[in-house]
């Protein structure tokens, strides 16, 4: 979804200035904060954010040289009249607040359910597992990686499009006053509170103050899922019944205050656990690939399981197909050494459009321009885009990142091979690619 620059200026109450007669109706498709991560620069609005170790204003000429023509700034420097002669300036008092305001305006264009997740630990894992459990029933948009900060949340929300049917976003804070901004931006309809721990204690006067700040996210939310048995959390919920419809689960036997009782039992193999979920009128048993000793994973999967049930995913589907496929989530891109001085960047868990862009940016930063950049990509089922739109866009993205060599795996990406560079190679299955690789790896270069 694109917005005319003049419309954005109005949303931000910004002073709109320029040195040329370029029409302010230019469409803004993307938001930029980092000159190393620019997509569609001619349609990017660059926010010059100030931080403790950098000033985005210093990078404005670099962004301009890369094709950006629209900027949100706090000041307009005299030399920009020469270095950025065709730039459009939106001048505001606080570019970060303007970023959040624009994202809030964008979020207001959509009425589909939005799940917000907060807590001290487990936010990213719960989000990823919940997206997996819901992906067959809904077209999901979610925070990429751990984008849960004052800057990460608005960038995540900007990914919302008309094709989506449900959003899942993390919200993290490190000091008082931050959650009010994120609540006004997200306005969640559903919520999950993972747990209360020691993370970021130093940013608050007390643990109870931190809890209240986190819970501000849910003060106008519908159903919020949480675990009983955390004394401070239980006390807060009991004191604020009007904030939300609190839906509690507990793994403590006979907890009369919980809506659902969960029991963790040995699975068919030692690395698995059976979850026995009992409610007022039903009982569900599902096996997950986590051991009884991994209490953090069992807590995280319980949150995700209950929200999936609440949103109408059938118990049969959860038991037979979805829960057995859950896997540990890599919290960040992993770099693994390969042969002959090569390195492998592993981002195999995520397979959505936003995560792919982050992984490619990471690849570009790690590999100098003269090196051989290779992307091994499967079909991308979680983009929410029709294949005839997705794969041409993917080809354009690889070209922009100067990634010449693509190995595409899957029948769908192979169907659109004419969109990619001639050097690209395609395989129907992972097994076919591995068999080919095993035959040639030791005797000839990878690009055959």
The pLDDT tens digits for 396-424 are 888 888 887 899 999 999 999 999 988 89
pLDDT for 350 beyond 60: no
Q: In 3-state terms, what secondary structure has residue 274?
A: strand
Kindly state which CATH superfamily the domain 334-440 is placed in: Mur ligase, C-terminal domain (3.90.190.20)
Which helix (H) or strand (E) segment holds residue 297: the answer is: helix 295-310
pTM here? 0.79
CA distance 133 to 306: 10
Confidence of residue 366 (pLDDT cuts 50, 70, 90): confident
pLDDT for 183 beyond 70: yes
Q: Which residue has the higher pLDDT, 369 or 107?
A: 107
CA distance 317 to 397: 35
> Which residues belong to CATH 3.40.1390.10 in the chain?
3-96
Q: How far are the Cα atoms of 146, 346, 354, 447 from residue 360, in angstroms, in the given order?
A: 16, 11, 10, 19
> Which residues belong to CATH 3.40.1190.10 in the chain?
110-325
What are the residues facing 262 on neighbouring strands? 277
- Let me know the angle formed at the C-alpha of 148 by 344 and 184, rounded to the nearest 5 degrees: 155
Q: Which residue has the higher pLDDT, 436 or 44?
A: 44
- Let me know the angle formed at the C-alpha of 434 by 433 and 438, rounded to the nearest 5 degrees: 120
CA distance 264 to 247: 19
Topology of domain 3-96 in CATH is 3.40.1390
Average pLDDT over residues 132-141: 94
Q: Are 406 and 435 in contact (CB under 8 A)?
A: no
- Cα dihedral: 93, 97, 100, 102 (round 10): -10
Average pLDDT over residues 187-208: 91
Q: Over the chain, what is the mean pLDDT?
A: 88
CA distance 342 to 274: 41
> Which residues belong to CATH 3.90.190.20 in the chain?
334-440
Q: Are 282 and 306 in contact (CB under 8 A)?
A: no
**DSSP codes, 82-105:** HHSTT-EEEE-S-HHHHHHHHHHH
The structural architecture, per CATH, of the domain 110-325 is 3-Layer(aba) Sandwich (3.40)
Q: Are 433 and 409 in contact (CB under 8 A)?
A: yes
Average pLDDT over residues 72-82: 95
């Amino acid at each position: 979804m694109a917005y005319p620059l003049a419309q954005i200026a109005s949303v931000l109450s910004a002073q709109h200035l320029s040195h040329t007669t370029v029409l302010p109706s230019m469409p803004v498709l993307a938001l930029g904060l980092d000159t190393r991560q620019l997509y569609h620069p001619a349609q990017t609005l660059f926010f010059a954010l100030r931080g403790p170790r950098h000033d985005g204003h210093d990078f404005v000429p670099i962004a301009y040289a890369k094709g950006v023509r629209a900027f949100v700034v706090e000041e307009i420097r005299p030399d920009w009249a020469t270095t950025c002669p065709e730039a459009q300036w939106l001048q505001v008092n606080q570019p970060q607040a303007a970023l959040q305001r624009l994202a809030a305006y964008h979020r207001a264009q959509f009425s589909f359910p939005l799940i917000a997740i907060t807590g001290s630990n487990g936010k990213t894992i719960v989000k990823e597992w919940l997206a997996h459990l819901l992906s067959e029933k809904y077209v999901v948009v979610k925070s990429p990686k751990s984008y849960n900060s004052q800057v990460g949340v608005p960038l995540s929300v900007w990914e919302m499009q008309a094709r989506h049917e449900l959003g899942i976003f993390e919200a993290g804070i490190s000091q008082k006053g931050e959650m009010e901004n994120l609540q006004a931006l997200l306005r969640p309809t559903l919520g999950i509170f993972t747990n209360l721990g020691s993370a970021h204690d130093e940013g608050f006067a007390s643990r109870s103050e931190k809890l209240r700040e986190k819970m501000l996210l849910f003060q106008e939310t519908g159903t919020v899922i949480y675990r009983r048995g955390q004394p401070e959390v239980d006390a807060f919920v009991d004191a604020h019944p009007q904030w939300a419809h609190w839906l509690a689960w507990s793994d403590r036997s006979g907890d009369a205050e919980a809506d659902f009782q969960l029991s963790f039992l040995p699975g068919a193999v030692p690395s698995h656990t059976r979850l026995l979920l009992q409610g007022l009128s039903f009982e569900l048993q599902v096996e997950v690939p986590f051991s009884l000793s991994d209490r953090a994973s069992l807590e995280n999967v319980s949150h995700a399981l209950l929200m999936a049930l609440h949103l109408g995913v059938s118990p049969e589907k959860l038991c037979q197909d979805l829960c057995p496929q859950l896997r540990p989530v890599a919290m960040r891109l992993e770099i693994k050494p390969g042969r002959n001085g090569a390195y492998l960047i592993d981002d195999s868990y995520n397979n959505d459009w936003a995560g792919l862009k982050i992984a490619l940016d990471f690849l570009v930063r790690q590999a100098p321009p003269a090196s051989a950049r290779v992307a091994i990509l499967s079909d991308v089922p979680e983009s929410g885009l029709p294949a005839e739109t997705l794969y041409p866009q993917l080809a354009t993205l690889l070209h922009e990142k100067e990634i010449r060599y693509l190995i595409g795996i899957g029948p769908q990406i192979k169907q659109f091979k004419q969109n990619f560079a001639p050097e690209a190679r395609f395989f129907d299955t992972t097994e076919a690619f591995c068999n080919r690789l095993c035959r040639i790896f030791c005797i000839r270069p990878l690009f055959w």
